[in-house]
Chains A and B, each alone.
Chain A
Amino acid sequence: AQKVTQAQTEISVVEKEDVTLDCVYETRDTTYYLFWYKQPPSGELVFLIRRNSFDEQNEISGRYSWNFQKSTSSFNFTITASQVVDSAVYFCALQTGANNLFFGTGTRLTVIP
């Protein structure tokens, strides 16, 4: 069975602080993809990143970075120098051979000015 756990329900940080959102996944498949999506207050789901299970290289995109560790089944997301516009709910998701996404319960990030 597939499962994604985002243990942090809500996080608040002050603007310019760094913040890490945790994601732990479970799957028996050896080939899978991991995703992060952002859901701002307006409600849409915005794609941020996709990594496949064979690529454990960390990735950086501007203020965003992702740390994928197969040994701990984790795919954590760090925002550096947070901004008010980063306030949103962030979802981690897992995709296996079935193609559809299994989402975590999301982490609500509030960045305080």
Chain B
Amino acid sequence: DSGVTQTPKHLITATGQRVTLRCSPRSGDLSVYWYQQSLDQGLQFLIQYYNGEERAKGNILERFSAQQFPDLHSELNLSSLELGDSALYFCASSEPPGRLNTEAFFGQGTRLTVV
């Protein structure tokens, strides 16, 4: 168990809808990352938050947004969903207070299916 919790584990929704994926990082970790794993694109970095602030942005679509709350949990919002958004979405956390650039531990992922 990595200590990173993602909910829900599975999500099936229709095109055009909006969903929210939730991530609770390992206790105390300040950084949260979101990654997307799809068959055609592989594992791709979407966005990183550090202690509530956006720190880095990757290949995240404008229809997607994220935030990190004061209790350090994070949410990834996906809107106007398309079939191609079907993927496994991972959250990872790292960097406990006082330690930078530590290894990232991943949650079990949320499998999103858009029909």
Contacts and interface: CB of A to CB of B under 8 A. Distances in A.
A37 B88 contact: no
A40 B106 CA distance: 13
B109 interface: yes
Interface string B17-31: 000000000000001
Interface string A94-113: 01001111110110000000
Contacts of A47: 2, 103-106
What is the predominant secondary structure among interface residues of chain B facing chain A?
strand
Interface in B54-102: 55-56, 58, 88, 90, 92, 101
A37 B90 CA distance: 13
B108 A99 contact: no
Interface residues of B, number: 24
B24 to A, nearest CB: 15
Interface residues of A, number: 20
B48 A44 contact: no
A4 to B, nearest CB: 10
Which of B55, B92, B103 has the most chain A CB atoms closer than 10 A to its own CB? B103
B115 interface: no
A98 B56 contact: yes
26 contacts: A37-B106, A43-B109, A43-B111, A44-B106, A44-B107, A45-B92, A45-B106, A46-B2, A46-B106, A47-B103, A47-B105, A47-B106, A50-B103, A91-B43, A95-B101, A99-B31, A99-B48, A99-B55, A99-B101, A100-B56, A100-B58, A101-B35, A101-B45, A101-B104, A103-B42, A103-B43
Please name the 10 residue pairs, one residue from A and one from B, whose CB atoms are nearest each other, closest first.
A45-B106, A103-B43, A100-B45, A44-B108, A50-B103, A105-B42, A100-B56, A98-B56, A43-B109, A100-B48
Interface of A: 33, 35, 37, 42-47, 50, 91, 95, 98-103, 105-106
Interface of B: 2, 31, 33, 35, 42-45, 48, 55-56, 58, 88, 90, 92, 101, 103-109, 111
